[in-house]
Structure 1
Amino acid sequence: MNRIVQVEGKEIQISNPDKKLFPGISKWDWILHLSRLAPRILSYARGRYLTTIRYPDGVEGKSFYQKNVPDHAPRWIQTARSGEVNHILLQDAPTLIWLGNLACLEFHVSFDRADRPGYPTELVFDLDPSVEGFEAVMETALLTREVLNSLGLDGVVKTSGATGLQLYVPIQPKYPFAETRIISQFVASYLQEKNPRLITIERQVKKRGSRVYFDYLQHWKGKSLITVYSPRARREATLSVPLRWEELKPGLTPERFTLETVHRRLEEEGDLFAPITRPAGPHDLSEILTFISRH
């Protein structure tokens, strides 16, 4: 039997609320988790082009990407066009809950905002291990931070919710992707040259061996990355969660952060992603770009 919920004045029908989306988690449980996570998810995702991954029959069923707003969307869903795609904007809790009812289990957002397209709000580094284990990707993240600090930069690290880590550095949104790519490639190449047994920038998976893939190419116009506090479509119902740098040490695993555990973590730690969503002083990249161009 369907349920009707009221969210900020919007009436939303929850169909098949007893359907299992994750092992032990029904769609109704999922909706309740999303309602609690909404302020955290929206703090970064709001205003960005959204791509979702839908699992109509749960994580163990088939999935598909959805970029264009569906024809049956309510009139109050806000959208923004990027190229030929009319993206949903994840502006408010009703939109999130409506998407949750569609069994959207992952929320990926752009690096730029719809009100200033083409100008990312952060430098983002995506670190992806090639083999099982979390130690190598943690070591890579810490080495990356050392390089960033030497350039006068710092940021926040978060789990991907899967096997990797992602670093976000708040910047003044006045540099097009072509300029941020210069810095990303510089950092990636430097780290790969200094740590050839640990880090690779090789795109072909079969050539990476056991090394951590430093993906500087993902940070680009039209591409997206899992947004902070978004769940991932994994049996464990893991989330993309920001970390304290001190947490990157042996014994840490992404499976620690799930829909069932994240709420207590937020109560204890607060929002560790606040330096990104509400940066006190986003970095100016002009001097770094000048330095790289000279060298």
Structure 2
Amino acid sequence: MDDQYVRIEGRELRISNPEKLLFPGLTKWEWVLHLTRLAPYLLPYVRKRFLTTIRYPEGVDGEFFYQKNVPSHAPEWVQTAKSGEITYILLQDLPTLVWLGNLACLEFHVSFDRVDHPGYPTELVFDIDPSVSGFESVMETALYTREALRSMGLDGVVKTSGATGLQIYVPIQPRFTFEETRKISEFLARYLQKKYPHLITIERKVKKRGHRVYFDYLQHWGGKTLIAAYSPRARPEATISTPLKWEELKPGFTPRQFTLETIHQRLEKEQDLFASISQPHHRYDLTDLLGFLSKRRNLDLV
């Protein structure tokens, strides 16, 4: 099929090789259509964040590369922001999303801070990954994490990574540095590891983790990224990083059930479960918690 042209929000975009398979049984044209349906849920959080995409020019089974710097052939209307030596793409609108989709960008990873508050994260984020197959221990760890957060006067939203893990987001006022939020993250991680030593580890070396779940508090840092909510993952099943209700974390749950083919029906039913993060009415003030931690010499939670 010849290239297709679409007009979105006043921008004309070319979809090249629309019949090329990007996922098994899913063409680039179908991929772009899926992205347009995901846009109302994906865009609210990723706007004004430094974007890293993963591109698969020949589809999910082919070679891939990370795209941080804006390519020289980008349309002039694509917004960008510079950080260090990198000029990042800003995923601000639907035309930009479709343009990226045409480039076979299959994953969208974004920074924890925004260009209008660089260096100040908008959430505490905890990344929970299994060391062995199975999802039960990951769910158990996430529920223990929420219990500990609530004892600290905090609460958040949990989402699947779209792969094998879960991620927890706690909205905070964007006036605390990564160094300050790291104090809270490490405090929580060490507390959980101490309380549940047979379940949770903070060991970075995979070979030393055994069967325990890896509680990654180090990923939350300036210059690093995490998969965006509602971003697809470059897997044959085209899984989606999907926000959840806490009560969904129960035996039998699997993150593989959320794919490009199934996510739209879920969104019609549940709407945007990530709205309290992407468009929060309340952000936690960490001042008192940081003051409490600064007075403690050990990592016991009270």
TM range, smaller chain: over 0.9
Secondary structure of the residue aligned to 2:138 is helix
Q: Does residue 76 in structure 1 map to residue 77 in structure 2?
A: yes
- 1:108 is matched with 109
Counterpart residue number, 1:180: 181
The root-mean-square deviation of aligned C-alpha atoms, in Å, is 0.5
SS at 1:96 equivalent: helix
Partner of 2:39: 38
Secondary structure (helix, strand or coil) at the match of 1:191 reads helix
Counterpart CA distance in 1 for 2:217 and 2:256 is 25
Please give the secondary structure, in 2, of the residue aligned with 1:275: helix
The one-letter code of the counterpart of 1:284 is D
Q: Distance in 2 between matches of 1:281 and 1:255?
A: 31
- Cα deviation 1:76-97 (Å, max 9, x = unaligned): 0000011111000000000000
2: CA distance, partners of 1:181 / 1:56: 37
- Name the stretch that deviates more: 245-254 or 273-282: 273-282
Q: Which blocks of at least 5 consecutive residues in structure 2 are unaligned? A: 297-302
Q: Single out whichever of 257-266 and 272-281 deviates more from structure 2.
A: 272-281
Within a 5 Å distance, the mapping from 1:151-190 to structure 2 comes to: 151-190=152-191
Structure 1 equivalent of residue 90 of structure 2: 89
Residue type matched to 1:280 in 2? H
Matches within 5 A, 1:196-207: 196-207=197-208
CA distance in 1, matches of 2:116, 2:12: 28
Q: Which amino acid aligns with 1:100?
A: G
**Structure 2 CA distance, aligned partners of 1:176 and 1:7?**
38
SS of residue matched to 2:31? helix
Provide the C-alpha distance between the structure 2 equivalents of 1:127 and 1:214, rounded to a whole number of angstroms. 5
The alpha carbon displacement at 1:279 in A equals 1.4
**Is the Cα contact below 8 Å between 2:45 and 2:279 reproduced in 1?**
no
Indicate the SS of the match to 1:72: coil
Deviation, structure 1 residue 294: 1.0
Counterpart residue number, 2:276: 275
Q: Report sequence identity in percent.
A: 71
SS in 2 for 1:108: strand
Please give the alpha-carbon distance, in whole angstroms, between the structure 2 residues aligned to 1:109 and 1:117. Answer: 13
CA distance in structure 2 between the aligned counterparts of 1:26 and 1:197, rounded to whole angstroms? 45
Following superposition, the deviation at residue 280 of structure 1 comes to: 1.7
Q: Which residue of 2 aligns with 1:255?
A: 256
1:291 and 2:289 aligned: no
Amino acid at match of 2:281: A
Runs of 4+ residues over 6 Å off in structure 1: none
Aligned to 1:128: 129
